[in-house]
């Protein structure tokens, strides 16, 4: 029978570092998926995930066990991703001219015929990535958690460590920022 998370954590805290490896194996897919929402390059994703688990190992004595280990780990992951976004703010600006032809085609189809389900999901996905990368770190974090992952305001507050009021304020500003970016993209192209 496989040991539980609590047993593995207790073993690590008793000095058996090797017991941390099963925890990494169990949760690394989820942490990778989270990191890929905020970083494009695979090398950056790996750095983020590595940092999450190293922080988790070092902060393990502070894990009280009130909530499942997964929740605690995901909080750490989200905050590490946020720190990454803040540290890479300079790479944010993407000129409209950098959109590829498939992305431009997808956008054109959506703008001209909004009712149509535009094809080329890959181009759409890349366009979404590029637009999200133009958002400020808090805006990107809130849009990703609130609208794309469909989390509640309370869940976001717990994950990020922000107050509920701050999450709401940031959500409002994030939508305004997103609107501004979309306006600039459509205006440049279609006016």
Site string for another protein, 38-77 (x = CB under 8 A): --------x--xx--xx--x--------------------
Q: How far is the CB of 57 from another protein (least distance, A)?
A: 6
Q: Where are the beta strands (DSSP E) in 132-187?
A: none
Q: How far is the CB of 36 from another protein (least distance, A)?
A: 3
Region of 14-22, 73-81, 94-102, 153-161 interacting with another protein (CB under 8 A): 14-22
Q: Which two tokens stand for residue 16?
A: 């058996």
Q: Per CB under 8 A, does 183 bind another protein?
A: yes
Q: How far is the CB of 45 from another protein (least distance, A)?
A: 9
- Cα radius of gyration (the chain): 20
What lies within 8 Å, CB to CB, of 53 at 6+ separation is 24, 28, 31
Q: Per CB under 8 A, does 168 bind another protein?
A: no
Please name the helix (run of DSSP H) or strand (run of DSSP E) that holds residue 96, with its range, or none.
none
What lies within 8 Å, CB to CB, of 45 at 6+ separation is 32, 35, 36, 39
- 78 closest CA partner among 26, 38, 44: 38
Among 11, 20, 136, 151, binds another protein (CB under 8 A): 20
Decide whether 165 or 182 has the Cβ nearer to another protein: 182
Region of 67-75, 79-87, 116-124, 158-166 interacting with another protein (CB under 8 A): 116-124
- As a whole number of angstroms, the distance between CA 134 and CA 85 comes to 11
Q: Which two tokens stand for residue 33?
A: 């998926």
- As a whole number of angstroms, the distance between CA 75 and CA 69 comes to 10
Helices (H), 60-163: 69-87, 101-112, 121-133, 137-142, 153-160
Q: How far is the CB of 162 from another protein (least distance, A)?
A: 21
- Give the interface with another protein as residue ranges (CB under 8 A): 17-18, 20-21, 24-25, 28-30, 32-33, 36-37, 46, 49-50, 53-54, 57, 110-111, 114, 118, 121, 124-125, 127-128, 131-132, 147-148, 150, 175, 178-179, 182-183, 186, 190
């Amino acid at each position: 029978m496989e040991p539980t998370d609590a047993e593995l954590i207790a073993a690590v805290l008793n000095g058996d570092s090797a017991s941390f490896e099963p925890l990494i194996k169990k949760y690394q897919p989820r942490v990778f998926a989270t990191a890929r929402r905020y970083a494009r390059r695979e090398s950056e994703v790996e750095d983020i995930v590595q940092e999450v688990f190293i922080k988790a190992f070092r902060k393990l004595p502070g894990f009280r066990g009130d909530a499942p280990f997964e929740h605690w780990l995901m909080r750490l992951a989200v905050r590490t991703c946020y720190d990454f976004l803040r540290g890479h703010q300079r790479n944010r600006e993407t000129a409209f001219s950098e959109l590829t032809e498939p992305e431009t085609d997808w956008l054109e189809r959506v703008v001209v015929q909004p009712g149509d389900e535009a094809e080329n999901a890959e181009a759409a996905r890349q366009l979404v990535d590029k637009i999200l990368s133009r958002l400020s770190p808090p805006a990107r974090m809130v849009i990703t958690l609130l609208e794309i992952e469909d989390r509640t305001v309370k869940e976001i507050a717990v994950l990020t460590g922000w107050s509920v009021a701050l999450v709401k304020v940031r959500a409002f500003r994030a939508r305004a920022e997103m609107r501004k970016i979309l306006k600039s993209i459509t205006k440049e192209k279609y006016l």
